[in-house]
Amino acid sequence: MSPKKRVAMHNHAAEASLFKRRALFTFCCVVIMLGILFGNLYHLQVTSHQDYQTRSNDNRIRVVPVAPSRGLIYDRHGQLLAENQPFYSIEMVPEKVKDIDQSLIELGTLIPISEEDIESLKRSLKYHRRFKPMTIKSRLTEDQVALFSVNQHKFPGFKVNAGLKRHYPYDGLMTHVLGYVGKINTKDRARLERNNLWQNYAATKDIGKQGVEKFYETLLHGKPGHLEEEVNNRGRTIRTLKVVQPEPGQDIHLTLDLKLQQKAVELLDGRRGSVVAIDPNDGGILAMVSSPSYDPNQFVHGISRKSYHQLLNDASRPLINRATQGQYAPASTVKPHLGLLALEEKVVSENTRIHDPGYWQIPGVERKYRDWRKWGHGWVNIHDSIVNSCDTYFYDSAYKLGIDKISSFMDPFGFGQNTGIDLYEESAGIMPSRDWKRMRYNQPWYIGDTISVGIGQGYWTTTPLQLANATAILANDGKRFTPHLLKSIEDKTARIETPLDEQAPIALKNPNNWEIINRSMRKTAEKSRFADATYTAAMKTGTAQIFSVAEDAKYDADSVDEFLRDNALIIAYAPFEKPQIVLAVVLENAGWGGVNAGPVARALLDEYMLRDQWSKK
């Protein structure tokens, strides 16, 4: 008999409990997953709504920046000095051109396109998005634009693009003052990003590189506008949604006098040198010429490497602004300032006379410091010494004053420091002192150094701008203004005049000393080429040595290299009673100051002082 099978007994309570646990776990998982789902939906729809909406719009809406037009530059009388001219170029949209190679060949029959340019374009096409325009030829003439326009139907996918480019109508007349604009490079971009200004240049290709264009870049540039365009998923424009017009840059009016500037350039006639004219009543620059110059327009469109190296390697250094960066020994042009100090310190009085035998010696020393006139000037006082430019008188005064007093006194006249003019291109020159020589050469100061400084030679160097500014202070009896070029700012609503920057005046112990020195300069003019002028003028000439000759040797200009010959200088102002213009002229390697720089100063003062009389004739 087979054994009976055991029947399994089901525990319904245990099974029910297990089912409940599994159902609860499943329900909790579903709840948690739904919670995560709703949490993500809340995050997407509510918390990050603005962010994702912006991203969506960025894919749908493209913001295209629009460059502002650059502000114009005028002279003090409203004459246009820097303008914006139409600029034409031919652009091509590659995807709209069936045969690019053949189209370029046919285009070359209308407008010259070199094989080198064509090869460059073909290389660029490899990395260029085919639906975006690319420039084929820039700087088109109006005739070329007209010729292409007539034949444009033959060139589907090609079009003329117009824009504005900076143009300087007077070419090199004011290059060193106005400067120029050029393409933004990596250095410019880094500076703009550092100053949080790069966003303002998103649509701009040019920026001020030098001169006024660079100094007043923030005024001239303006504010960019933009277009909001709807685009498809491939980046093509569907329609324009919004246009925000750019704000043009502000126009600026300079203190420059165009006619005086033109006259100065004409008189220099390409010779190496500089002219600076200042209005002593406010410090405004009337003329600032550095010669030789160059055409700034070639930098606007991108100067070739060959042309730039020619300018860079030119022995005449046309790239340097001689008016603010050229450093010259002031020579006898600072004798009025030294004479003023001698009067102030009572080293001399108005009637003090010394005998000039043609040389001067340091007591107990055999070396003789020669006067420019070999036989001397005899007995001279302060007036005679300035009128006749007596070196011996100032050797003696410098010896008695000492370098400490000279250096300290010349400081408020602006020697040895930047004038503060609104240009970045400026040199401070050198006003030597004991500390300066110790720092520069690690040498002590010798009395012989002081004697050379006493006639504006030795270590003393100045820029023509500093010299003109110091002369203006002298003519103004100590009243001082910061030299400046900006006269006013103009936009579409108003014209704002630049406030005067008047500095603390120079106060003398004896104010009568101003009159003594200025009368000496007036006498100098009366005994020179200004004797027959119909206006009153004051002046002082100077002849600066480039290198020293032996004590008993004679200087012969014909026997030395041209670049080692003496510089010719002159300072002058008019009218004497109430000065309206102050001049400083420097001609490099020209020889005697009175003979060579004198005629330039006379012609410039005639131009300025007699302009109204000539216009009536």
464: phi then psi, degrees, rounded to nearest 5: -55, -35
What distance lies between CA 304 and its chain's CA centroid?
22
In this structure, how many other beta carbons lie within 10 angstroms of the beta carbon of residue 81? Answer: 22
* CA distance linking residue 598 with residue 363, whole number of Å: 36
What distance lies between CA 237 and its chain's CA centroid?
41
What's the 3-state SS for 353-368? Answer: CEEECCEECCCCCCCC
- 390, two tokens: 């007596």
* CA distance linking residue 314 with residue 427, whole number of Å: 21
Whether residue 352 contacts residue 381, with contact meaning beta carbons closer than 8 Å, is answered with: yes
CA angle at residue 382 from 596 to 531, to 5 degrees?
40
Which residues neighbour 99 within 8 Å (Cβ) at sequence distance 6 or greater?
A: none
Whether residue 449 contacts residue 459, with contact meaning beta carbons closer than 8 Å, is answered with: yes
Axis-axis angle for helices 335-344, 403-410 (nearest 10): 110
In this structure, how many other beta carbons lie within 10 angstroms of the beta carbon of residue 548? Answer: 11
* CA distance linking residue 604 with residue 262, whole number of Å: 10
Q: Spot the catalytic one: 290, 291, 332, 407.
A: 332
* CA distance linking residue 547 with residue 565, whole number of Å: 8
* CA distance linking residue 110 with residue 113, whole number of Å: 9
Residue 356, annotated as binding a ligand: yes
* CA distance linking residue 478 with residue 501, whole number of Å: 15
Which helix (H) or strand (E) is 585 found in, with range?
strand 581-587
- 270, two tokens: 């390409």
Strand order in the sheet with 237-244: 61-66, 225-231, 237-244
Residue 69 annotated to the active site: no
Nearest to 263 by CA among 582, 615, 530, 606: 606
- 101, two tokens: 């190679």
Provide the annotated binding site for Zn(2+). 356, 371, 377, 390
Active site residues: 332
Provide the annotated binding site. 356, 371, 377, 390
